[in-house]
Amino acid sequence: MNPFLETLLDTPLDDTYRGVPPGEATVALRAVATRQWQPRSGNMALPVLTMDEAAFAHNVEQIFGYVRSHGAALAPHAKTPMSPQIVQRLLDAGAWGATVANLQQAAVLLRAGVRRLMLGNEIGGAASGARLGKLLAAYPDARMLMFADSADSVRSLAAAAGHAGRPVEVLVEVGGGRAGARDDAAVEAILEAVAAQGGKLALAGVATYEGAVATSDPAVTARQIAALMERAARAFQQVRALAPQAPLVFTAGGSAFFDQVTQAAKPLLAQDGNALLVLRSGAIFFHDHGTYERALRAMDARSGFEIDGQARHAAADFRPALRLWGEVLSRPEPGLAICGFGMRDVSYDQDLPVPLAAFRDGAPLPGWDPEGRVTRLNDQHAFLAISPDSALAPGDVVEFGISHPCTCLDRWRVFFGLDAEGRVQSAYRTFFG
């Protein structure tokens, strides 16, 4: 095991971490299962964020089965958990590499032993180029593919190459709605800028991100993704003309529209014969009870999830893995319960948390109101609307599903993996900076 990961597992968990009971004796990350904590029993400090280990493993199996059957590869976006332990699990499962959003994330994963990365973003100007160059120089055995969408970003990467003492690999980013070259002329300007750097840069392929052109209208979204993929295909052919023998990467694919990316790219890459489609899906491993649940239902409506030629039901095949556990603090009004968590603890940019179950003394609460819903959040309070005659009382523990894993996990320094009995079997450190 990489020394960084080995040391990470020896991280002492104490009650400065959410979830660890106050006054609990320090326990190493690797030994957390010995404590037999169980959120629903109230023997953890609440709120706490957990991951269903079986659901996570099942999701890994599903998405890797998909990419294998389509001749693609995965470089999961590590920004979702920013946990070297999770990234290593995905590499062990067969990931091609990992994707990061910035240099801090790259530094964390390089230190953890990851040696094939994509930085799914432009880096900025010459100062950022110097920082990248210093990072690359520190890890001469690492391969890092970098996005460029303008001559300016090319010059920044050339500055990095100068500091690193070796060429930097460039992915021409084609985009819409966010970053990325907007037309063929912009792609040509990038390629001319790369050629002008006198060997400091090497063309590695083309990148895009289809989620940036999505709308609330499925038909419009499909047209815009198709148009984006057509532009990316033309850019790929422009790159291929300048790098006729090089093995190239064509990369796209978040966790909502990877089926459309795969189908659009397949003919291009089959004709080329020396390129690899690399999907960057990251949230799919955690799934959710909101935004990605809807996205996979939409994928099923277009019959997009297919493994080994067989149509599958993505909304059923993937399982939400994350849970937020909160304790009822107050029943100030008949139809209201106040739970002890808020915006500091859970995502709310896409949807509010969804109550799933309630427990009293570790057992399911009789008469739990399935229609209860969170109506709003304060910093540390959740407002749960319930039936006026609900039995829910202060001290009861409520299990919530979340929406949008990326903006939930980043609130936690540690999240806990649960076994089939709902007991903590593992703990994962995050490194969001």
**So what's the pLDDT on residue 17?**
97
**So what's the pLDDT on residue 368?**
81
In this predicted structure, the answer to whether residue 367 has a pLDDT above a threshold of 90 is no
Q: Please, which residues bridge with residue 336 across strands? A: 333, 385
Q: From the CB of residue 224, how many other CB atoms can be counted at a distance below 10 Å?
A: 18
Q: Which two tokens stand for residue 385?
A: 């609307």
**Model confidence over 41-100: pLDDT tens digits?**
999 999 999 999 999 999 999 999 999 999 999 999 999 999 999 999 999 999 999 999
Residues 6+ apart with CB under 8 A from 354: 289, 290, 373, 374, 400, 401, 402, 403
In this predicted structure, the answer to whether residue 370 has a pLDDT above a threshold of 80 is no
Rounded to an integer, the average pLDDT of 263-276 is: 96
DSSP state of 174: B
**Model confidence over 205-242: pLDDT tens digits?**
999 999 999 999 999 999 999 999 999 999 999 999 99
At residue 27, the 3 state secondary structure works out as: strand
Q: How confident is the model at residue 430 (pLDDT cuts 50, 70, 90)?
A: very high
Alpha helix (H) residue ranges in 273-399: 291-301, 314-317
Q: What is the CA radius of gyration of the chain?
A: 23
Q: 182-213: b or e for each residue (b if 16 or more CB lie within 10 Å)?
A: eeeebbebbbebbeebeebbbbbbbbbbbbbb
Nearest Cα neighbor of 65 from 411, 369, 306, 382 is: 306
**So what's the pLDDT on residue 48?**
98
Give backbone dihedrals phi and psi of 110, rounded to 5 degrees, phi first: -60, -45
Alpha helix (H) residue ranges in 22-83: 53-69
401 alpha-carbon distance from chain centroid: 17
Determine which helix (DSSP H) or strand (DSSP E) holds 400, and give its type and residue range: strand 397-401
Residue 181 near residue 213, CB atoms below 8 Å = no
In this predicted structure, the answer to whether residue 350 has a pLDDT above a threshold of 80 is yes
pLDDT above 90 as % of the chain:
98
Determine which helix (DSSP H) or strand (DSSP E) holds 180, and give its type and residue range: none
**Model confidence over 291-327: pLDDT tens digits?**
999 999 999 999 999 999 999 999 999 999 999 999 9
Give backbone dihedrals phi and psi of 27, rounded to 5 degrees, phi first: -135, 140
Mean pLDDT of the chain: 97
Burial of 3 (0-12, 13-18, 19+ CB in 10 A): exposed
Give backbone dihedrals phi and psi of 117, rounded to 5 degrees, phi first: -130, 150
**So what's the pLDDT on residue 203?**
98
Residues 6+ apart with CB under 8 A from 41: 359, 361, 362, 397
Residue with tokens 């994928």: 299
Q: How confident is the model at residue 288 (pLDDT cuts 50, 70, 90)?
A: very high
C-alpha to C-alpha distance for 355 and 49, rounded to whole angstroms: 14
C-alpha to C-alpha distance for 184 and 181, rounded to whole angstroms: 8
**So what's the pLDDT on residue 369?**
73
Nearest Cα neighbor of 158 from 126, 116, 204 is: 126
Residue 365 near residue 41, CB atoms below 8 Å = no
Rounded to an integer, the average pLDDT of 181-186 is: 97
Rounded to an integer, the average pLDDT of 6-12 is: 96
φ/ψ bin of 268: left (φ > 0), alpha (ψ from -120 to 50), beta (otherwise): alpha
**So what's the pLDDT on residue 1?**
82
Determine which helix (DSSP H) or strand (DSSP E) holds 77, and give its type and residue range: none
Rounded to an integer, the average pLDDT of 111-122 is: 98
**So what's the pLDDT on residue 371?**
78
